[in-house]
């Protein structure tokens, strides 16, 4: 990783963090209104689904097929989440699946941290949550892990223009705040703060929690050779990604929630179902109960 890329990633971690503390500690009930929270909620959902439905289930794992227009729409939405360019994100995540919790996994809390006691555990969790962004992000060979996207001119264009999409991710809530406040520059500033920086901070840490928490604590019921877990209380804010053990057992499944009550807490699967009903996606991968039973541990832990 170059120094410029490391500094950019560091800024992407620190600036939303500082904005979050400024917003919560200093500005709550002073310069936040319903317009700001509305922008935060709408953009959190849209950009979050851009990551979970777009970057993850559609582009990384090809859990369903769709048109180029739908692919590129979700690729743009995912880019607005400011978690890296689409080709970089997919490359890193495919590498994670190729080396899960072993040497080569870019963000495992276990690989390289075994036997370290409490100190090693904390180091592993920090690395999996945020430390890897400063050392490993973008390290996966794109030609190896995301050749299909590298060869797609539209995806290359979206990926190469990621920096402009970051600016757009901030400009949209600022413009929205300006419009909703009747042309107030204060409205633009608070829209930028809450709908932009605070939203990016929240979505970052929910996504990163899948890397850290969902490889450390939680429940398991399938026979897989990694440390992935299901964490129910993260399911809704992560749009179903926290059924992470299920996902590592059946990576191509469009549904990460496999039990009926888990599916109720997998909004991404619901969006895919709705798109399927509209004829916008097809060949959706779902796992039969029989296949699940084949992988289920005799004694669940």
Domain range list for the chain: 3-219
- pLDDT at residue 133, as a whole number: 86
- pLDDT at residue 6, as a whole number: 59
Cβ neighbours for 261, distance < 8 A, ≥ 6 positions apart: none
The pLDDT of 102-113, averaged and rounded, is: 85
- pLDDT at residue 116, as a whole number: 64
Residue 59, pLDDT above cutoff 60: yes
The pLDDT of 277-287, averaged and rounded, is: 98
- pLDDT at residue 301, as a whole number: 42
Residue 156, pLDDT above cutoff 50: yes
The pLDDT of 145-149, averaged and rounded, is: 95
Helices 153-160 and 162-180, axial angle in degrees (round to 10): 70
Hey, what are 97's tokens? 């699946």
The pLDDT of 217-234, averaged and rounded, is: 95
Q: Does residue 197 or residue 17 have the better pLDDT?
A: 197
- pLDDT at residue 139, as a whole number: 75
pTM for this prediction: 0.92
The pLDDT of 55-66, averaged and rounded, is: 98
- pLDDT at residue 299, as a whole number: 47
Where are the strands (E) in 41-188, listed by range? Answer: 65-66
Is 16 within 8 Å of 204 (Cβ atoms)? yes
When pLDDT is cut at 50, 70 and 90, the band that residue 119 belongs to is confident
Q: Does residue 13 or residue 47 have the better pLDDT?
A: 47
Q: Does residue 24 or residue 4 have the better pLDDT?
A: 24
Q: How far is CA 103 from CA 55, 90, 168, 278, 290, in A?
A: 24, 19, 37, 42, 33
When pLDDT is cut at 50, 70 and 90, the band that residue 28 belongs to is low
Please give the span between the terminal C-alpha atoms of the chain, in angstroms, as a whole number.
Answer: 39
Average predicted confidence (pLDDT) for the chain: 90
Question: Could you read off the pLDDT of 184-205 as tens digits, one per residue?
Answer: 998 999 999 999 999 999 999 9
- pLDDT at residue 112, as a whole number: 74
Is 199 within 8 Å of 44 (Cβ atoms)? yes
- pLDDT at residue 120, as a whole number: 81
- pLDDT at residue 117, as a whole number: 75
């Amino acid at each position: 990783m170059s120094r410029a890329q490391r500094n950019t990633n560091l800024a992407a971690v620190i600036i939303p963090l500082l904005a979050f503390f400024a917003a919560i500690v200093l500005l709550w009930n002073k310069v936040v209104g319903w317009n700001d929270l509305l922008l935060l909620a709408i953009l959190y959902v849209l950009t979050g689904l851009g990551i979970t439905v777009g970057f993850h289930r559609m582009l990384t794992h090809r859990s369903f097929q769709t048109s180029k227009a739908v692919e590129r729409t979700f690729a743009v939405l995912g880019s607005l989440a400011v978690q890296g360019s689409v080709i970089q994100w997919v490359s890193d995540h495919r590498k994670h699946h190729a080396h899960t919790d072993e040497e080569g996994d870019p963000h495992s809390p276990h690989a390289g941290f075994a036997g370290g006691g409490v100190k090693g555990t904390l180091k592993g969790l920090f690395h999996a949550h945020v430390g890897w962004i400063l050392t490993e992000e973008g390290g996966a060979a794109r030609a190896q892990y995301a050749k299909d996207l590298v060869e797609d001119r539209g995806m290359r264009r979206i990926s190469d223009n990621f920096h402009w999409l970051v600016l757009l991710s901030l400009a949209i809530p600022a413009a929205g705040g300006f419009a909703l406040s009747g042309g107030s520059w204060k409205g633009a500033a608070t829209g930028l703060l809450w709908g932009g920086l605070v939203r990016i901070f929240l979505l970052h840490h929910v996504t990163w929690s899948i890397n850290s928490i969902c490889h450390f604590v939680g429940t398991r019921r399938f026979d897989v050779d990694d440390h992935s877990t299901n964490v129910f209380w993260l399911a809704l804010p992560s749009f179903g990604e926290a059924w992470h053990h299920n996902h590592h057992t059946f990576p191509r499944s469009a549904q990460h929630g496999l039990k009926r009550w888990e599916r109720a807490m997998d909004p991404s699967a619901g969006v895919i179902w709705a798109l399927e009903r509209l004829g916008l996606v097809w060949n959706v991968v779902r796992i039969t109960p029989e296949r699940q039973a084949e992988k289920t541990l005799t004694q669940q832990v």
